[in-house]
Amino acid sequence: MNITLWIVQIILAAGFVYSGWMKTVRIESSKKTWAWVNDMPRILVILIGIAELFGALGLVLPWAINIAPLLTPFAAIALAVVALLGMLFHIWRKEYRELGVNIIFIVLALIVAFGRL
């Protein structure tokens, strides 16, 4: 079970690192990739990206270095909330094709959260 959780953590962290990186460092590319970025304040997009990057670190580092490992499931829960809010935002904007990624992120984050608690 531990190996499975590590695989899920790494996949989920990679997904959030990509998403966070696009929202913070590659914001101009994000505007071309995701239509919603053009309609949001730049600072909000950057803050969401920073939250995703820190959340990705929280998924892996505390458990890996065994310092405050309880932070890993908390990070997973926080990222599930971020993905859920993103999903609700996409529903509000009627961007239904975007929902698949959010659902996958939520499911993976909840697997990590409950598996590590």
Predicted TM-score of the model (pTM): 0.90
Cβ count near 15 (within 10 Å): 19
Give the pLDDT score at 14: 97
CA distance 4 to 11: 11
Reported as a pLDDT band with limits 50, 70 and 90, residue 30 is: confident
> What burial letters (b/e) apply to 60-98, b meaning 16+ CB within 10 Å?
bbbbeeeeeeebbbbbbbbbbebbeebbeebeeeeeeeb
Q: What is the mean pLDDT of residues 29-56?
A: 92
Domain that holds residue 62: 2-116
Residue 31 has pLDDT above 90, yes or no: no
Length of the chain as a residue count: 117
Domains of the chain: total: 1
Q: What is the pLDDT of residues 64-117, one digit of tens each?
A: 999 999 999 999 999 999 999 999 999 999 999 889 999 999 999 999 999 999
